[in-house]
Amino acid sequence: MYPEVSGARSSTPNRAAAPTLLALLAFALSTSGLGCGARPAPDSASAERAGADVGAVSANGSPARIASFSADRAWRDLQALTDIGARPVGSSGNDRARDYLSAQLEDLGVEVESREVDYASAAGRPSGATAPEIRVTNLSAVIPGTRSQDRFVLAAPFDSRQFEDFEFIGANDGASGAAVVLEIARVLAAHPLPYATEIAFLDGEAPFSSPNGRHRPYREIGSLGLASRIRESGSSGVRLLVYLNRVGDADLRIARDLVSHRIYREEFWKAASALDRTRAFPPDAAFENAGIAHQYFVQIGLRQVVSIVDTSFGGDQPPGLYAGTAQDTIDRCSPDSLETVGVVVLEALDAISQRLGKIDRFAAGRSGEVDTR
């Protein structure tokens, strides 16, 4: 789950500010993947007018969500997953991890669905590849929004890689993202966003082989399955997908992913700056390729994807000294890292919700529709 990382690339400078309506049109194009420029900054008076009714959308607001995120609860979730031990596809540990996550979601009063991946018809699978002989099953639950049935998707793996010569726990790689997403789910169940939020726990993300060993290792099967399901149901209702993994490192540095949607990705860095969490989201972070799992979503036309991943676990050079070793254990993770990622994600989701709300109301006004979102 640690791919080769490419070198840094320069970023594109922002354009000058434009009038409010033009700014909304430009942002609408860019968030649909059609625009090529960065978002212009509206003047304060325009921003206040455009956002006046947005603030009423979420009475609790971002501060309440951030205050509700518990690093202790997220850490207990990480402990629970790592106490299970290894969680490779098809193992009893994998089943126990899925059962734990499902039970925690059910406690929030939401319906939890187990979705077996139909690899044979999955979008984006390698040509001629045969289905794995092991069942790969994702979990999914939707937390309703306050104003719209359109949704954000928060996805994270919960399995771990299998090694023949040692037990790979995968505290950072395979469990940390799930712990953060689970705690975010608790927060959003109590303080929902305007848009619905789908929680997706992905199986089969770590490389694994068929029992007979006849096929090369499979990987990112959970992402493949989720992307295929989104394609079949229509991606237009998915306004944003955030993929989280390897976010527990005690020395956390989130990669500025090249494949992620530029405008949405930068909202996370702005959120980190606003919350004084720039150590984990460095303003001068080089652009790099943070992985391939989230690229399946881009391949189906879902451009609004952001990857939140630390590409180096132990040291500064990817993949890091502890990556893919017996040292990927909870003692090299930190509750502070889980909290940092959790509150930054919540802050960014709130900002993106507000921006999308403006676009939706503008679009409804132009078409003469009554906006009920």
pLDDT tens digits along 105-145: 999 999 999 999 876 656 555 555 666 667 899 999 999 99
Measured CA to CA, the distance from residue 285 to residue 85 in angstroms comes to: 33
Measured CA to CA, the distance from residue 113 to residue 142 in angstroms comes to: 9
Question: Quick one: average pLDDT of 237-251?
Answer: 97
What pLDDT is recorded for position 156? Answer: 98
Token output for 285 = 């972070």
What pLDDT is recorded for position 35? Answer: 36
pLDDT band at 235 (very low <50, low <70, confident <90, very high): confident
Q: pTM of this prediction?
A: 0.81
State yes or no: pLDDT of 212 exceeds 80: no
Amino acid at the residue 300: I
What pLDDT is recorded for position 24? Answer: 44
State yes or no: pLDDT of 281 exceeds 80: yes
271 and 347 in contact (C-beta within 8 Å)?
Answer: yes
Question: Quick one: average pLDDT of 300-319?
Answer: 93
What pLDDT is recorded for position 216? Answer: 57
What pLDDT is recorded for position 329? Answer: 98
CA angle 74-75-79, nearest 5°?
120
pLDDT per residue as tens digits for the range 346-359: 999 999 999 999 99
Phi, psi of 110 (to 5 degrees): -110, 155
What pLDDT is recorded for position 331? Answer: 97
Measured CA to CA, the distance from residue 57 to residue 143 in angstroms comes to: 16
pLDDT band at 236 (very low <50, low <70, confident <90, very high): confident
Give the DSSP letter of residue 314.
S
Query: Any alpha helices (H) in 165-316, and if so which ranges?
Result: 176-190, 221-233, 262-274, 295-299
State yes or no: pLDDT of 11 exceeds 70: no
In this prediction, what percent of the chain has a pLDDT beyond 70?
Answer: 75
248 and 334 in contact (C-beta within 8 Å)?
Answer: yes
Please state, rounded to an integer, the average pLDDT across all residues of the chain.
82
Query: Any alpha helices (H) in 322-368, and if so which ranges?
Result: 335-367
Which residue do the tokens 């860019």 mark? 30
What pLDDT is recorded for position 290? Answer: 82
Measured CA to CA, the distance from residue 218 to residue 236 in angstroms comes to: 29
Measured CA to CA, the distance from residue 264 to residue 352 in angstroms comes to: 7
State yes or no: pLDDT of 151 exceeds 50: yes
State yes or no: pLDDT of 251 exceeds 90: yes
What pLDDT is recorded for position 132? Answer: 65
Catalogue all structural domains in the chain, each as residue range(s) with its CATH number: 64-349 (3.40.630.10)
State yes or no: pLDDT of 226 exceeds 80: yes
State yes or no: pLDDT of 9 exceeds 80: no
Question: Quick one: average pLDDT of 49-77?
Answer: 71
What pLDDT is recorded for position 164? Answer: 86
What pLDDT is recorded for position 7? Answer: 34
What pLDDT is recorded for position 39? Answer: 34
Nearest to 287 by CA among 255, 310, 317, 322: 255
